[in-house]
Homo-oligomer: A and B are copies of this chain.
Amino acid sequence: MERSTLPRLTRAESVQRTRAALLSAAEDVFADKGFADAALDDIAERAGFSRGAVYANFANKTDLFLALLDNWLQREIDNGTRLTDSDNTPQQDIDALDGQGGNRFADRKRFLLLIEFRLYALRHPEVADRLRDYDRATMDWFGSTVERVAEASGIRLPAPTEQIALLVLALEHGIATLAHTDPERIPHDSFLDALTLLNRSLTAMAAAES
């Protein structure tokens, strides 16, 4: 006996689709309301489902939050490493360092989620572990880029690569934080300015040492 209709989606695909929709909705709602104030009802509704669908796909609210964290971090890391493989000019490298022309965390939603995750991590070590890996990956990415820039400029870095990478990442994070609090005084491209200043001064220091 033949099946009367050929479903466009297999069962597995349908499940994945629901899960993906829920994760996407969760991303919006968690960013908007924060973990504690985000209602599973809102999330489900935004995804076009009912609360039951949430519990069919995730054990509970925390499980959904952690699944989103994994999903989000993986995308962020992929995004970063994808850019590393190219062989850029130094200026392109500097531009790429801060992600498509502005601080990566100039985007409000992106920044809100990151802070939400970081705050959660401060109280939950297992989440801190994942963010730690993310930060290390980012610093590796920054570090290799810094080295490429230095090599292209023919200078010898006046400090360990790791220290400079840490400095750059801390700057990106700190400036995003301050810019979101005081956008009138602190534009997000202060990060680019800071990188430029840093590049110039480190170059001057390297020259002075040789």
Contacts and interface: CB of A to CB of B under 8 A. Distances in A.
Interface string A80-115: 000000000000000000000000000010011001
Most chain-B CB neighbours within 10 Å: which of A112, A158, A181?
A: A181
A106 B170 CA distance: 14
Interface in A152-200: 158-159, 163, 166-167, 169-175, 177-178, 180-182, 185-186, 190, 193-194, 197-198, 200
Most chain-B CB neighbours within 10 Å: which of A112, A163, A173?
A: A173
Contact of A115 (B37, B122, B181, B185): B122
Interface stretch (A8-16, A19-27, A43-51, A128-136): A128-136
A208 interface: yes
Given A37-B36, A119-B119, A208-B204, A175 B182 contact: no
B181 A132 contact: yes
20 contacts: A36-B36, A111-B122, A115-B115, A115-B118, A119-B119, A122-B180, A128-B182, A132-B181, A135-B181, A163-B190, A163-B197, A166-B194, A167-B197, A171-B171, A171-B174, A173-B174, A201-B202, A201-B205, A204-B204, A208-B208
B177 A173 contact: yes
